Amino acid sequence: MTERIVVHGGRPLLGEVTVSGAKNSVLKLMAAALLAPGRSVVRNVPAILDVKIMSELLCRLGCEVTADGDTLRLDVPDRVGHEADYDLVRRLRASICVLGPLLARCGEAKVALPGGDNIGSRGLDLHVAGLQRMGAEIESEHGFLVARAPHGLRGTTVWLDFPSVGATENLLMAAVLAEGTTVIDNAAREPEIADLASMLQEMGAKVDGAGSSTIEIQGVGELQPVTHTTVPDRIVAGTFAIATVMTGGSVRILRCRPEHLEIVLDRLVSCGAEVEASDTVLQVTMDRRPAAVDVVTLPYPGFATDFLPMVIALNSVADGVAMVTENVFEGRFRFIQELVRLGADIRTDGHHAVVRGRPRLSGAPVEATDIRAGAALVLAGLVADCTTTVAEVHHIDRGYAGFVGQLRSLGAEVVREVVSDE
């Protein structure tokens, strides 16, 4: 049995919506718990599929994971396992983030080479090269990365060729228990990295500069378990902001951090939206057809690649022509063929897409190809005539908790339905 989302377009989104904790943070916070034996507690955990997969992975490593509402209790044993199997890792690329903590805690790690989003090759060379500089021996054997640091990891300076989020996190989690000082240069600056660093600091780690391009870590002998609250999900908040602009609605987005969305909000204002932000609340109002906006994706604080499918969907109903350029993942444009099925006028050339806006899209059956593409297709359905059905909704479930219910509460005509396999 599979499920699909059925959208009847034409209604503006109106009302209030609350944002949960960030997927891209919580998965790493769960991995960080491995660094200290005892009970760590993570709060503001979103009810998404990826958290379930990560919980299963931690259980296989010997942890006990208990969920209670939006709180996760992680009981980490004195001796954790060091092997992450393919059946879980292939479903969740982010599980590669156990590599650094396992290596730091056990002196060895065997992690299956991941699958994950269908958005490009997503290499691991930066993770591997950084850990090797810290003294790890790493081989690729039979579909696994096998890493050993029999004499422990040692501090060093690592320069990342690209500010990779995953590599920065793995190196950070490896360095907190390494001997001496590690400097990560050209580090990723995403808010989720700052969130991870603050949990590590609460655990007793010595980390300076997280959220900037240079992170300095002084290794310590051991860490303590802690209770930590996950930063709000900026991508989910931005998804609702973009949906509001596309549908000509008015939505208050609660429990978010507008400061993490500066460029996105700036672009929405260029589209004609009215945006008001306080520390934790964002009010977005749109009373006209959006104007087309050019976007170039870049690592934070640039325009996040995760929004690219949504901004293409927005431009496909905007007034004018937009150039959208993707610089982070080579495969992000794959979903465009689905949007074209809804009548969008889009030409791509390499990593550029030219989007010619149309007043409305035209409902059709489409298929989600990854989390953000799936969300973008639902948003496109909200501004399409008649009915759009989005198949492969498990992709959306990986990153959005109760997406359909939230959209319905804002007045959208959208349901989930079970499709019996024939």
Q: Which residues bind ligand UD1 (CB under 6 A)?
A: 24, 27, 94, 120-127, 162, 164-167, 188, 304-306, 328-329
At closest approach, how far in Å is the CB of 48 from ligand UD1?
11
Q: Please, which residue, 169 or 414, has the CB nearer to ligand UD1?
A: 169
Provide the minimum distance between the beta carbon of 29 and ligand UD1 in the complex, in angstroms, as a whole number: 11
117 as an active site residue: the answer is yes
Neighbours of 139 (CB within 10 A): 10
Check residue 410 and report its DSSP letter.
Answer: T
Question: Of 370, 282, 292, which Cα lies nearest the Cα of 334?
Answer: 370
Of 188 and 322, which CB lies nearer to ligand UD1 in the complex structure? 188
| Residue whose tokens read 């931005």 | 238
Give the SS3 label for residue 301. Answer: coil
Of 121 and 278, the one with the shorter C-beta distance to ligand UD1 is 121
Buried b / exposed e over 107-118, threshold 16 CB at 10 Å, is bbbbbbebebbe
Helix axes 99-106, 125-133, angle to 10 degrees: 20
Pick from 218, 184, 179, 180: nearest CA to 201: 218
Contact 361, 372 (CB under 8 A): no
Q: Can you point out the beta strands (E) in 160-287? A: 181-185, 206-208, 214-218, 227-229, 250-254, 274-277, 282-285
Q: What is the spatial order of strands in the sheet that 71-76 belongs to?
A: 64-68, 71-76, 38-43, 227-229
If 0-12 CB within 10 Å is exposed, 13-18 middle and 19+ buried, where does residue 365 land? middle
Q: Which of 75, 78, 85, 117 is catalytic?
A: 117
| For residue 301, cis peptide bond before it (omega within 30 degrees of 0) | yes
Q: Which residue, 235 or 410, is less far from ligand UD1 as judged by CB?
A: 235
Q: Which residue has the tokens 């009810």?
A: 47
Q: Minimum distance from CB of 61 to ligand UD1 (Å)?
A: 18
Task: Compute the chain's Rg from CA coordinates.
Answer: 21
Distance between CA atoms of 204 and 176, rounded to whole angstroms? Answer: 9
Compare residues 125 and 185 and give the one whose CB is closer to ligand UD1. Answer: 125
Compute the least distance from the CB of residue 372 to ligand UD1, in Å. Answer: 8
Find the shortest distance in angstroms from Cβ 195 to ligand UD1.
11
Residue at shortest CB range from ligand UD1 = 166
Residue closer to ligand UD1 (CB basis): 31 or 292: 31
Active site residues: 117
